[in-house]
Amino acid sequence: MADFKWHPNEPPPSIEEHSKAKLDVLRSYLRAYFDRLSINPSRDQFKLDLIDGFAGGGTFLAGDEIVSGTPLIMLEESEAAIDRLNQSRTKTLHFDFKYYFVDIEAAHTNHLRKVLDERGYQVDSERIVVHNSRFEDVVDDIIAEIRRRQPRAGRSLFLLDQCGFSQVEISLIARIFSELPAAEIILTFAADALTNFLAETPEFVRMVTPLELTEQRISDLIQLRNGDGGRALVQRILRGHIRNATKATYDTPFFIRPRQSRRALWFLHLSRHPTARDVMIQCHWNNYNKFEHYGPGGFDMLGWDALNSETLPLFHFEELDAEAMRRQLLNSMPNELFSLASEEPVTIDTMRHMFANRTAARFSDLDSVVLELFREREIEILRPDGTVRSRALRRVTPTDRIAFPQQLLLPGTSRRR
């Protein structure tokens, strides 16, 4: 993984293709985040804290052009949203954003201060704070400040764009979620590099201390990597480990695959909110070609349950993939729904949450497959009062319930495959 260097008296570093992809998706995620906010029309103020914990120097060179790095993207996208969101409102909404940019290297924060200054931003004001520190040394102060500003909601977006896989202490993320349940966290993670470097040496064990990987776990992972399970199984276990250790409810892991090295970087979105996860998935669909993943499009598409990921096709979030995903979901959903709802009906909301970490489908995709199965009489859809909806139903609501017709003994038997 590239280790970028900035210095205030020198041009910024040249950007690489995978870093460019990462910047594009961050921009589009922020755009989608703001556009999906449903802010009560009677409200007149909206607060949000944006934290870039591994901020770098603020800009890159792309050929002769200077392009914005992550701290500038946070500023640009949040400012653009102010105008966009106010256009459709009668009562003006005042946005109160606060930004915290942290980097361990003084030369990097000095470069960042310079580019912010050149663009007219007031650094170290009430609004923008630049810390030259280790993120882990200032995170508690930042959390306290967010709680002071937003005692109830604690609405915040954290970007932890580390180099490699072991700079972010996983326990910090759990702490952020426990103090700020509304937080969303984007973590970059060099999953392939970690898989390659796995070793039982004291240096490696020390290196991955921040990840809370025990020696036993490392030894198991090495055995899996070298055995039939291969890299896909190692990465599936890593993914589960990160989700559990960070105490995130939802995770959306996707690959950014640099062309030269072919070593995948995960862009991992962690949250405790289903809507946050859905915005992230939508964003992947909008950015097709930037992300890809092993596996088909239905359940377990992420390749985690496939024994040998090398032989799986890549999923690119394109139209053809969308159609293939719909077909696969139509085939696999009856069994999945049967496991969920055979004993008693489950709400659409529960169905969405149960499937969220297992597929690239947006909630709208899952809903439309459920509707199709309802039209084909594979399942019933009940109103909250228990009465059956009409087969002409066009949209489900989160409180509708999925049930199985009594006469259906085996799920999926009426579907043609």
Ligand X SMILES: C[S@@+](CC[C@H](N)C(=O)[O-])C[C@H]1O[C@@H](n2cnc3c(N)ncnc32)[C@H](O)[C@@H]1O
Given the rule CB under 6 A, which residues bind ligand X? 4, 19, 53-56, 69-70, 102-105, 108, 134-135, 161, 163, 167
**Minimum distance of ligand X from residue 21's CB (angstroms):** 11
CB 250 within 8 A of CB 274: yes
Q: Which is nearer to ligand X, 52 or 336 (CB)?
A: 52
Strands in 128-233 per DSSP E: 128-132, 156-160, 184-189
Output the smallest distance, CB 199 to ligand X, in A: 22
Could you tell me the strand order of the sheet in which 265-271 lies? 128-132, 94-103, 45-52, 156-160, 184-189, 265-271, 250-256
Least distance (Å) between residue 167 CB and ligand X:
5
Compute the least distance from the CB of residue 193 to ligand X, in Å. 13
Please give the backbone phi and psi of residue 187, each rounded to the nearest 5 degrees, phi first: -120, 130
Neighbouring-strand partners of residue 186: 159, 269
* Cβ 285 to ligand X shortest distance, Å: 23
Render 346-409 in DSSP notation, one character per residue: EEHHHHHHHHGGG-S--HHHHHHHHHHHHHTTSSEEE-TTSPBPPTT-----TT-EEE--TT--
Q: How far apart are CA 373 and CA 361, in angstroms?
A: 16
- The answer to whether the beta carbons of residues 242 and 255 sit under 8 Å apart is no
Nearer to ligand X, 186 or 337 (CB): 186
- Residue 366: name the closest of 374, 343, 84 by CA: 374
Q: Are 281 and 365 in contact (CB under 8 A)?
A: no
- For residues 211 and 356, which CB has a smaller minimum distance to ligand X in the complex? 211
Nearer to ligand X, 167 or 261 (CB): 167
- Minimum Å gap between C-beta 116 and ligand X is 13
CB of 74 or CB of 198, closer to ligand X: 74
Residue type for position 280: M
Question: Which CB, 134 or 389, lies closer to ligand X?
Answer: 134
Q: How many residues does the chain have?
A: 417
The residue number with the shortest CB distance to ligand X is: 69
CB of 189: closest distance to ligand X in angstroms? 12
CB closer to ligand X, 53 vs 230: 53
Least distance in angstroms from the C-beta of 136 to ligand X: 6
User: Of 59 and 249, which CB lies nearer to ligand X in the complex structure?
Assistant: 59
Residue number with CB closer to ligand X (104 or 354): 104
Shortest Å, Cβ 2 to ligand X: 7
Work out how close the CB of 77 gets to ligand X at its nearest, in angstroms, rounded to a whole number. 13
**112 or 232: whose CB is closer to ligand X?**
112
Of the candidates 389, 382, 373, 391, the one whose C-alpha atom is nearest the C-alpha of residue 335 is 373
* The dihedral sign for the CA sequence 399, 268, 238, 172: negative
Backbone angles phi, psi at 83, to 5 degrees: -65, -45
* Rg, the chain, Cα only: 23
Q: Find the distance separating the first CA and the last CA of the chain, reported in whole Å.
A: 44
Phi/psi of residue 85, nearest 5 degrees = -75, -25
